[in-house]
């Protein structure tokens, strides 16, 4: 049809008649709109209603793709603050670790404001030598540079973390608050369910949704039958009890509503579920690491006795890392450990890691926590650039992140990560969600209820575990591969290599709706 329009317009030669010009323009615009309209498509799992809102299509058991909008700093209900500078430091060109640590310790003594903020320490342009680690252990402290001209150099030898922000203690159950979930089945995506009793519960209570592991669940997953390899460990129930941190937002009779969805179905046949009120004394918050370049000294491309993590968070919530670049570290730019919750990592880069290219190295942006967001990040020469570890409780999100010169794959790395959205991830390597079998010490099934949305990769494997959920590849542009281990159930693929997915970003659309 376009050729016909062109031939029609060509008849006029040097057009002088404005009407003829307008006719040709309208014909071409109309044809372009027709092509655009024909290319757009919606997932059969999430549709856009006439009013512009998302409609989640449930399966026979009620499972849907979860709502991932409430992850990151304060669950997207607050903007990352512009914290006032209360101390300014300049580089000496020598060991500046003690000076920066002293400033951190002094700021920790200051009474925080009502919002929990104490203030920002500004590191002026220059090179700061850090032979050990900078440690932040009090809430409300921001460490800020002036962009890549503020350079923290991990000097000397030995694996270590250059910036460590961590509180103390652990997640603890409040005695006599445990209650059985009454539903026989609570589906993925649900935010409401019934309890055997709501006595003693209130809106705003911090709770754990507890999903116990059972021997029959592990057996049905065939994770007690992993083919033996070097150091292979079969899964056992005591190692796979999951604690999802949530907040009660409504109570209606025996039904409670929580702030974030269920990301692994709670099933009577596999032990059902419980809730209990919880505390985490010693966990810190309102920590910011901003606008810094971190570099590690190294001795050769495969040297491993040097800076390992540029930034490491643990026992921390409602904090952020923004505008950070790392170079030459052996493991990561950012490493969020298990007790890291509601962290936003944005606009950051992991460049030129130095290590052997084997297991346990080059996890550029690693997340083992829950309710965390990685957005607009970049990695090169990593092995697992956007990755979750073992028994990671979601939801978590990686959005609009890019990986180049990838040495391995992106995705859940081992042992049952639950509820991760990989949205608009681009890599020249692979994205894999699969049974990893006896890799490592018996990784087995790497993840469940993982969603690849509008991602681009060289190759992609998506498998479904035998029970307890599925994995999605929606609008993925890549070569579809079977995976390391054959004969596993194939995951859900929808419109492979087809452009025009609506919405282009599931995460952004879900956030938009959450704010309306």
pLDDT single digits (tens) 189-203: 999 999 999 999 999
386 pLDDT more than 60? yes
Average pLDDT over residues 59-77: 98
CA separation for the pair 139, 157 (Å, rounded): 30
Average pLDDT over residues 392-405: 98
Find the helix packing angle between 2-10 and 18-39, rounded to 10°: 170
Residue 35 pLDDT? 45
Average pLDDT over residues 65-71: 98
116 pLDDT more than 90? yes
Residue 414 pLDDT? 87
410 pLDDT more than 90? yes
Which of these ranges, 19-33, 92-106, 162-176, has the smallest mean pLDDT?
A: 19-33
Give the helix/strand (H/E) hosting 291.
strand 288-296
* Tens-digit pLDDT profile for residues 249-258: 999 999 999 9
* Tens-digit pLDDT profile for residues 413-469: 989 999 999 999 999 999 999 999 999 999 999 999 999 999 999 999 999 999 999
Residue 13 pLDDT? 46
DSSP for 180-234, written as a single string = EB--SEE-TT--EEEBS--TT--TT-EEEEEE---HHHHHHHTTTSPPP-TT---
Check whether the bond before 263 is cis (ω within 30° of 0): no
Q: CA nearest 311: which of 343, 283, 289? A: 289
Residue 38 pLDDT? 53
CA separation for the pair 323, 146 (Å, rounded): 10
Say which residues have a Cβ less than 8 Å from residue 251's Cβ, sequence separation at least 6: 198, 201, 202, 203, 257
Task: State percent of the chain over pLDDT 90.
Answer: 92
Which of these ranges, 1-5, 154-158, 272-276, 347-351, has the smallest mean pLDDT?
A: 1-5
Residue corresponding to tokens 């979860």: 66
* Tens-digit pLDDT profile for residues 323-354: 999 999 999 999 999 999 999 999 999 999 99
* Tens-digit pLDDT profile for residues 275-313: 999 999 999 999 999 999 999 999 999 999 999 999 999
pLDDT band at residue 516 using 50, 70 and 90 as cut-offs: confident
Distances (CA, A) of 260 to 60, 118, 191, 264, 419: 22, 29, 6, 12, 11
pLDDT band at residue 5 using 50, 70 and 90 as cut-offs: very low
27 pLDDT more than 60? no
CA separation for the pair 443, 413 (Å, rounded): 8
Average pLDDT over residues 370-374: 99
Q: CA nearest 494: which of 114, 149, 65, 50? A: 65
26 pLDDT more than 90? no
CA separation for the pair 119, 288 (Å, rounded): 10
Average pLDDT over residues 476-484: 97
9 pLDDT more than 80? no
Average pLDDT over residues 79-92: 98
Which of these ranges, 23-37, 90-104, 132-146, 210-224, has the smallest mean pLDDT?
A: 23-37
Average pLDDT over residues 376-398: 98
Average pLDDT over residues 79-83: 98
Average pLDDT, the chain: 94
pLDDT band at residue 93 using 50, 70 and 90 as cut-offs: confident
- Residue ranges per structural domain of the chain: 2-39
407 pLDDT more than 50? yes
Cβ atoms within 10 Å, residue 115: 10
pLDDT band at residue 388 using 50, 70 and 90 as cut-offs: very high
493 is written with which tokens? Answer: 């693929």
Cβ atoms within 10 Å, residue 5: 15
481 pLDDT more than 50? yes
3-class DSSP state of 361: coil
36 pLDDT more than 60? no
37 pLDDT more than 70? no
463 is written with which tokens? Answer: 């498998």
Average pLDDT over residues 493-503: 98
23 pLDDT more than 80? no
């Amino acid at each position: 049809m376009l050729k016909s329009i062109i031939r029609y317009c060509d008849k006029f030669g040097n057009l002088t008649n404005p009407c003829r010009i307008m006719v040709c323009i309208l014909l071409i615009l109309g044809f372009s709109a027709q092509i655009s309209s024909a290319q757009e498509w919606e997932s059969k799992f999430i549709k856009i209603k006439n009013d512009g809102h998302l409609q989640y299509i449930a399966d026979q058991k009620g499972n849907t793709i979860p709502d991932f909008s409430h992850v990151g700093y304060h669950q997207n209900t607050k903007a990352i603050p512009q914290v006032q500078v209360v101390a300014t430091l300049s580089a000496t060109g020598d060991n500046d670790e003690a000076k920066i640590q002293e400033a951190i310790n002094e700021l920790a003594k200051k009474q925080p404001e009502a919002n929990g903020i104490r203030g920002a320490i500004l590191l002026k342009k220059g090179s700061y030598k850090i032979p050990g680690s900078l440690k932040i252990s009090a809430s409300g402290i921001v460490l800020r540079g002036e962009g890549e001209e503020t350079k923290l150099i991990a000097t000397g030898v030995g694996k270590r973390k250059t910036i460590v922000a961590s509180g103390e203690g652990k997640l603890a159950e409040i005695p006599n608050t445990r209650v059985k979930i009454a539903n026989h089945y609570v589906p993925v995506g649900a935010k409401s369910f019934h309890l055997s009793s709501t006595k003693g519960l209130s809106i705003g209570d911090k709770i754990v949704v507890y999903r116990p592991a059972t021997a029959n669940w592990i057996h049905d997953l065939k994770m007690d039958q992993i083919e033996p390899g070097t150091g292979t460990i079969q899964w056992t129930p005591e190692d796979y009890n999951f604690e999802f941190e949530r907040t009660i937002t409504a109570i209606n009779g025996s039904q409670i509503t929580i702030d974030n969805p269920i990301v692994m179905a709670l099933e009577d046949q596999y032990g059902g579920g419980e809730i209990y009120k919880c505390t985490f004394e010693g966990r810190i918050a309102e920590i910011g690491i901003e606008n810094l370049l971190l570099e590690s000294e190294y001795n050769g491309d495969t040297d491993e006795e040097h800076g390992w993590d540029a930034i490491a968070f643990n026992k921390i919530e409602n904090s952020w890392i923004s505008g950070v670049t790392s170079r030459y570290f052996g493991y990561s730019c950012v490493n969020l450990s298990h007790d890291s919750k509601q962290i936003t990592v944005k606009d950051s880069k992991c460049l030129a890691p130095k290590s052997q290219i084997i297991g346990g190295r080059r996890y550029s942006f690693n997340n083992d926590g829950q309710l965390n967001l990685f957005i607009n990040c970049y990695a090169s020469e990593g092995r697992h650039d956007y990755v979750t570890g073992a028994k990671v409780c979601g939801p978590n999100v990686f959005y609009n992140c890019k990986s180049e010169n990838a040495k391995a794959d992106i995705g859940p790395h081992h042992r049952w990560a639950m509820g991760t959205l990989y949205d608009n991830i681009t890599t020249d390597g692979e994205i894999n969600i699969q049974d990893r079998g006896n890799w490592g010490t018996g990784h087995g099934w790497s993840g469940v209820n993982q969603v690849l949305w509008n991602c681009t990769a060289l190759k992609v494997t998506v498998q479904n575990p035998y029970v307890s959920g599925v994995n999605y590849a929606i609008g993925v542009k890549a070569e579809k591969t079977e995976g390391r281990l054959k004969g596993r159930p194939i995951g859900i693929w929808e419109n492979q290599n087809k452009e025009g997915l609506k919405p282009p970003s599931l995460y952004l659309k879900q956030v938009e709706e959450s704010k309306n």
